[in-house]
Structure 1
């Protein structure tokens, strides 16, 4: 059975993988605020999927299996230098690109210090919930056509990704209010959101540095630098 077929069998029936609509990146902040609960509803339906048949953490391979037993192993190993493929000897980027070692090391330590809060938090996550990767009609539908990076992780990962490139959309601020209205408890929300935000932020920063995308690097560094104050002020 193909990865897509396995994913379909795992996913909640309410999750739309073939949506009609427009690129959610087209929404203004005002438009998003008007329909943000729809987005949050649909993303949480991903996280409601039954993963009882999947063990561990990390990206799902072609058989929808993971490579790591613990979240700590997953979080740390994704930044190891000795990896196969694109990220082999990636630390050379510190000498050849815009990637700043001091900045990276600081937020790596911030992430590492919060890993324990995410241990045991196992959910199916799309892990690609950037606004330009979601399709919506702005009223009744939000869909997720791209499952390239589907993983098992803390469900707050998908919300941290939404926030990374568009902090002005106020994702965590709106999410806290949404969860409170729904009566959904999320223990250690602040530390978990920061861990997810720093982890994904470093991944994305490293990618944009590798393709010499200066504008995105500057934007991501600014977003990461401001995240702690935003979260602790919730």
Structure 2
């Protein structure tokens, strides 16, 4: 399997694109780290900061524009999308830049103090109105889910045939990496069993809700970025947050807040287990593909222990 390589652009090329939008008022064009699938640059116009992303994957930004509109129109602090276009073989998207640093860069004490606000924001985001959209799983460029049910989505993302995606040819990992087929199959069967509890629930899922996609100034949460948007059970996002911030009693804090605001979550225990298997199978494959063996074996142990 060959890893996807994001496009490379010179700063001068980025300036050409931006001059069409902003004339000669663009300053401080700077490449940014991060972004597995896009080349990302920040820039300023009259002291206001923005971001431009470039990708050569077809339709890469239409979904992001839809999600940006869906979230910002309902008061969720997410980057507003200002423009979409094409440059050479790349699509690009221009959006506002939210101030703040990753929550990960805050001290452990700051992170602990910010968790209640993180949970309030997560709850608000998961309960936005999704209008007359339909479907489950990944959100496509028209704003709908790509599958007819959550179970269909679970089966589709774990199928062998993933042509044209990041997971193209992933079955080869059973031979070339630490990924063990018997462990994968065991966890997959458990996922199918528990996902029946997740299946009736359809909400907006961020899909990558952790401390590197949550921004803060150290005192408050300033916004969230970089969704892998889906429709399904919102506990998928809680399972992600708990996995990444495991020392902060995230699940206990979350349940206390839901009780406080009067949100009832039937079958919580079974649904959070289903969400952990859903995320966990993606994690096992990802760690194996990246060669992160220690992370793989740590997650493997946690998943096999989950229902014992």
Q: TM-score range by the shorter chain?
A: 0.7 to 0.9
Q: Distance in 2 between matches of 1:28 and 1:219?
A: 24
Structure 1, residues 109-128: CA drift from partner, whole Å, max 9, x if none? 22111111111211111101
Alpha-carbon distance change, 2 to 117 in structure 1, aligned in 2, over 3 angstroms: same
Q: Does 1:3 align with 2:83?
A: no
Q: Deviations over 1:2-41 (max 9, x none)?
A: 4333223322532111332121113455433322110011
Higher-helix-fraction structure: 1
1:145 Cα deviation (Å)? Answer: 1.6
1:13-162 correspondence to structure 2 within 5 Å? 13-18=74-79, 19-85=98-164, 86-147=166-227, 149-162=228-241
CA distances 1:125-182 after superposition (whole Å, capped 9, x unpaired): 11011211221234332421212x1111111111111122332232222222222222
Unaligned segments of structure 1, at least 5 residues: 230-234
The alignment's C-alpha RMSD in Å is 2.1
- Aligned pair partner of 1:178 in 236, 249, 257: 257
Structure 2 SS opposite 1:113: helix
Once the two structures are TM-superposed, the CA of residue 87 in structure 1 deviates from its matched residue by 2.0
Who wins on radius of gyration, i.e. which is larger?
2
Q: Distance in 2 between matches of 1:28 and 1:205?
A: 28
Do the aligned partners of 1:42 and 1:142 also contact (CA within 8 Å) in 2?
A: no
Change (3 A) 1:133 1:220: farther
Partner of 1:232: none
Bigger drift between 209-218 and 132-141 goes to 132-141
Change (3 A) 1:221 1:137: farther
Higher share in strand: 2
Which segment is superposed worse, 6-15 or 108-117? 6-15
Question: TM-score with structure 1 length normalisation?
Answer: 0.88
d(CA) in 1 for partners of 2:113 and 2:307?
26
Q: CA deviation at 1:210?
A: 0.8
Choose which of 199, 210, 216 in structure 1 pairs with 2:278: 199
Larger relative contact order (CA 8 Å, sep ≥ 6): 1
CA distance in 2, matches of 1:87, 1:4: 21
Which of residues 246, 257, 260 is equivalent to 1:167? Answer: 246
**Structure 2 unaligned regions, length at least 5:** 1-60, 80-97
